[in-house]
Amino acid sequence: MAAAPATPATDRRVAAQRLGAFCLAVLGAAGADAATARAATDAMMHGSCLGIDSHGVRLLDHYVRALEGGRVNPRPSVRIVSGFGAVAALDADDGHGALATFEAMRHAMELCGRFGIGAVAIRNSSHFGPAGAFALRAAEAGMIGLAVCNSDSFVRLHGGAVRFHGTNPIACAVPVPQGRPWLLDMATSAIPYNRIQLYKSLGEPLPPAVASDASGFDTRDPHEAEMLAPLGGAFGFKGAGLAGLVEILSAVLSGMKLSFDIAPMAGPDFSTPRKLGAFVMALKPSAFLDEAAFRAGMERYLDALRRAPARPGEAVMAPGDREWAEADRRATAGIPIDPATQTAFRALAARFGIKPPFGEDGG
């Protein structure tokens, strides 16, 4: 849940409404059906609004390439293919990962309403963006949401010198009485792969001990980063273990490719579906205890957490606090667009005859 780098002066800020409208228009022009364009835009805007820029609108250009190249089915038939009690399997038909995962969470929530719990394994999917977007749907409906997904291998094992796991994110969202949800959204790598690309665009060095060169040794140069380190630094076996848990839930349970068998996200092949797996779950608190007791427990927990003494110069925050505060700032100041994404947006706008979100003067 590390914050994105500070916004440099070369970034431009755009209102969320204009940015979302641009993404919808571009995806539609690239051939995506309305449901795909909406789901992909909603996921990207979640990332950009909450300050998760590595998984925000900077992905638009990549998604257009995937749609037009044939990697992602622009008009999929997403459907539930099996089910037993509170569990089900969903086939994404090689469609956009956000569309499949939003639909899977919707079905998990339906099951949760009937059984107190609902779980859906997703097969034949693709990159889905920020995992928190899907977990949040459950929390907004008063349920606890969980979302995980594997991806192409970019993360070494603890002590390893080759790519093995994907960044394999874990997201969980919990409803909070009279407040925004408790929201955990984390990669099981030290940082997500897309943050490497973001640091390249910003021309900034990487934080220490988050990425490795081709020999597995730490580097702070984003141009030399050949793999990511697992979460945990000197205790990276913990991050590697969590990545393995996500791998089992996402790939093994869905019958999809393991991370080291998935084609690289960055290509060069943009014509072959990548066959990612994912997994979502929804839990109904009142199925476990009285709803009032759950609300009281969450209130007491968060109140104690936020009142806990902090070290000088530090602040104690619950998961999601930083992101919700950033969302408030961006609702007023606009969403920052890094230089590389500005360039990509101008090219997309010119190609499809769509007005760029910065305005005619680029500002």
Kindly state whether residue 114 falls inside one of the protein's structural domains: yes
Tell me the sheet residues that pair with 276.
Answer: 125
Kindly state whether residue 4 falls inside one of the protein's structural domains: no
∠ CA(31), CA(36), CA(38), 5° rounding? 110
What does the block give as tokens for 348? 């997309």
Check residue 68 and give its pLDDT: 97
| CATH number of the domain encompassing residue 89 | 3.30.1370.60
Kindly give, in sequence order, each residue whose CB lies less than 8 Å from that of residue 84, ignoring residues fewer than 6 positions away. Answer: none
What does the block give as tokens for 342? 């500005």
Please classify residue 353 by burial: count the beta carbons closer than 10 Å to its beta carbon, then call 0-12 exposed, 13-18 middle and 19+ buried.
Answer: exposed
H-type alpha helices, 50-142: 60-69, 97-115, 132-140
Check residue 2 and give its pLDDT: 41
What does the block give as tokens for 275? 């066959």
Kindly state whether residue 363 falls inside one of the protein's structural domains: no
Check residue 23 and give its pLDDT: 98
Phi, psi (rounded to 5 degrees) for 144 = -90, 130
CA distance 92 to 98: 10
Q: Tell me whether strands 117-125 and 87-91 are parallel, antiparallel or unpaired.
A: parallel
Please classify residue 215 by burial: count the beta carbons closer than 10 Å to its beta carbon, then call 0-12 exposed, 13-18 middle and 19+ buried.
Answer: exposed
pLDDT under 70: residue ranges of the chain: 1-10, 359-363
Distances (CA, A) of 36 to 69, 154, 247: 16, 27, 25
Check residue 10 and give its pLDDT: 65
Looking at the 3D structure of the chain, how many domains does it have?
1
Position of tokens 């839930």?
Answer: 249
Check residue 8 and give its pLDDT: 44
Check residue 361 and give its pLDDT: 45
Check residue 95 and give its pLDDT: 98
CA distance 29 to 19: 15
Nearest residue to 148 (alpha-carbon basis) of 117, 118, 187: 187
Kindly state whether residue 361 falls inside one of the protein's structural domains: no
Kindly state whether residue 3 falls inside one of the protein's structural domains: no
CA distance 193 to 172: 20
- CB 150 within 8 Å of CB 247: yes
Kindly state whether residue 190 falls inside one of the protein's structural domains: yes
Using DSSP, state whether 327 is helix, strand or coil: helix
CA 45, 47, 48, 50 dihedral sign is positive
Position of tokens 């913990």?
Answer: 238
Kindly state whether residue 74 falls inside one of the protein's structural domains: yes
Q: Where are the beta strands (DSSP E) in the chain?
A: 12-14, 79-84, 87-91, 117-125, 144-149, 155-156, 163-165, 170-176, 179-186, 211-212, 227-228, 276-283, 335-337
Containing domain of residue 270, as a range?
A: 12-352
Kindly state whether residue 360 falls inside one of the protein's structural domains: no
pTM exceeds 0.85, yes or no: yes
Tell me the sheet residues that pair with 80.
Answer: 90
- CB 34 within 8 Å of CB 234: no
CA distance 340 to 138: 34
